[in-house]
Amino acid sequence: MTKYFTISAALLVIVIIALYFATEERRETVEQLNRFVAAGNSSTPYNIDEYTRMDSVTSEQMALVFNITIVDGTHEYESASKDQEILAWFKSSVCNVPEFQEKLLKKGIAIMYRYSSLSGVFLGEHRYTREHCSNA
């Protein structure tokens, strides 16, 4: 009987230690994500180009979210063509920045680009992960 109690107690200790490290790693990842949000918001809003404006950077469910507004009413947003354009940019820039790789993508944090019209209407979003870099 004491043999089973000892094994059960040992397993319980292992589970508690594993949960502690998982919780601590998650806390550190969330803190890192919050630092990227703060850095991103330090210069918003700003014009990306003549058609788009970066309004803010936020986070949600392990994603760094760039909130972008289409400021030119004549410039149409087409999700399929925009996805290819943004994916190409993501691969050439984000995938090649070691800090993004180490501090975000390798920790499971996705990069999301969320588009709205000038009147605030949601147009679409594009989510990319570390796997998108390996398909470069």
Query: Domain of 50: which CATH number?
Result: 3.30.300.250
Residue 38 pLDDT exceeds 70:
yes
* Whole-number average pLDDT of the chain: 80
Q: What is the pLDDT of residues 87-105, one digit of tens each?
A: 888 888 888 888 888 888 9
Residue 43 pLDDT exceeds 90:
no
Q: Provide the domain limits for residue 23.
A: 2-134
Residues in the chain: 136
Q: How many domains does the chain have?
A: 1
What stretches of the chain show up as alpha helix (H) in DSSP? 2-41, 79-92, 98-103, 130-134
